[in-house]
Structure 1
Amino acid sequence: MDVSKAAQSLSGSSAGALKAGSMLHLIEGGADALAALSGLIADAEAGKHSHAIVASNASLRAPIPTPRKNVFCVGRNYAEHIAEGNRAQKQNIGVTEHPVFFTKPPTSIVPPDGHVLIFPTVSESTDYEVELAVIIGSAGRNIPKASAMDHVFGYTILNDITARDVQRRHGGQYFKGKGFDGSCPLGPWIETADAIPDPHALSIGLKVNGEQRQDGNTADMIFDIPTLISSLSEGMTLEPGDIIATGTPSGVGYAMEPPRFLKDGDTVVCEIQGIGTLSNNVRAI
Structure 2
Amino acid sequence: MRYQQVARGSERFLVAETDSTYYDLTAAKPELEAFRDLARSAAVADETIDDLARGALDDAPEIDAETVRNGRQIPVTPEEVWAAGVTYEISEQARQAESDTPDMYVDVYDAERPEVFFKATPSRTVGPGEDIGVRADSNWNVPEPELGIVLYRGDAIGYTVGNDVSSRDIEGENPLYLPQAKVYDRCCSLGPCVVSTDDIDDPHELAMSMSITRDGEEVYTGETSTNELVRTCEELADYYTRHNAVPELAVLLTGTSIVPSDDFDLTEGDVVSIDIEGIGTLTNGVRTV
Normalised by the shorter chain, which TM-score bucket?
A: 0.7 to 0.9
Per mean C-alpha deviation after superposition, the further-off stretch among 184-193 and 87-96 is 87-96
**Post-superposition offset of 1:33:** 6.0
Q: What does the per-residue CA deviation read over 1:120-146, in whole Å, with 9 as the maximum and x for residues that have no partner? A: 2x2222111000000113x35xxxxxx
Q: 1:192 aligns with which of 189, 196, 220?
A: 196
Matched-pair contact (CA < 8 Å) for 2:203–2:226: yes
Distance 1:2 1:129, change over 3 A: closer
| SS in structure 1 of the partner of residue 160 of structure 2 | strand
| Aligned residue type for 2:75 | P
| Aligned residue type for 1:124 | N
**Post-superposition offset of 1:5:** 4.7
The TM-score, its normalising length taken from structure 2, stands at 0.77
Distance 1:165 1:246, change over 3 A: same
Matched-pair contact (CA < 8 Å) for 2:170–2:177: no
| Aligned residue type for 1:40 | A
- Does residue 1:80 correspond to 2:71, yes or no? no
- Does residue 1:108 correspond to 2:124, yes or no? yes
| Aligned residue type for 1:241 | L
| SS in structure 2 of the partner of residue 35 of structure 1 | helix
Which residue is equivalent to 1:144? none
- The answer to which structure has the higher strand fraction is 2
- Does residue 1:165 correspond to 2:169, yes or no? yes
Distance (whole Å) between structure 2 residues aligned to residue 157 and residue 133 of structure 1: 6
| SS in structure 2 of the partner of residue 19 of structure 1 | coil
Which residue is equivalent to 2:63? 52
Distance 1:282 1:247, change over 3 A: same
Q: What does the per-residue CA deviation read over 1:208-244, in whole Å, with 9 as the maximum and x for residues that have no partner? A: 1134443211111111111112222221244442110
Say which one has the larger Rg.
1
The answer for unaligned runs of 5 or more in structure 2 is: 1-23
Which residue is equivalent to 1:9? none
Q: 2:31 aligns with which of 19, 27, 34?
A: 19
Q: 1:223 aligns with which of 210, 224, 231?
A: 231
Which residue is equivalent to 1:130? 145
Matched-pair contact (CA < 8 Å) for 1:3–1:37: no
Distance (whole Å) between structure 1 residues aligned to residue 252 and residue 272 of structure 2: 21
Q: 2:250 aligns with which of 236, 242, 251?
A: 242
Matched-pair contact (CA < 8 Å) for 1:136–1:239: no
Distance (whole Å) between structure 1 residues aligned to residue 199 and residue 25 of structure 2: 25
Which residue is equivalent to 1:252? 259
Distance (whole Å) between structure 2 residues aligned to residue 33 and residue 132 of structure 1: 20
**Post-superposition offset of 1:188:** 0.3
Distance (whole Å) between structure 1 residues aligned to residue 280 and residue 58 of structure 2: 22
**Post-superposition offset of 1:76:** 0.5
Matched-pair contact (CA < 8 Å) for 2:134–2:165: no
Work out the number of aligned pairs and report it: 251
Which residue is equivalent to 2:284? 280
Distance (whole Å) between structure 1 residues aligned to residue 172 and residue 275 of structure 2: 28
**Post-superposition offset of 1:161:** 0.4
Distance (whole Å) between structure 2 residues aligned to residue 2 and residue 214 of structure 1: 36
What's the RMSD between the two structures over aligned residues? 2.5
Distance 1:269 1:4, change over 3 A: closer
| SS in structure 1 of the partner of residue 249 of structure 2 | coil
Distance 1:89 1:235, change over 3 A: closer
- Does residue 1:35 correspond to 2:35, yes or no? no
Distance 1:202 1:212, change over 3 A: farther
The TM-score, its normalising length taken from structure 1, stands at 0.78
Matched-pair contact (CA < 8 Å) for 1:186–1:278: yes
Q: Percent identity?
A: 23
| Aligned residue type for 1:236 | N
**Post-superposition offset of 1:32:** 6.4
| Aligned residue type for 2:193 | W
The answer for unaligned runs of 5 or more in structure 1 is: 7-17, 141-150
Which residue is equivalent to 1:145? none
Q: What does the per-residue CA deviation read over 1:162-196, in whole Å, with 9 as the maximum and x for residues that have no partner? A: 12233345644422211111110110010000110
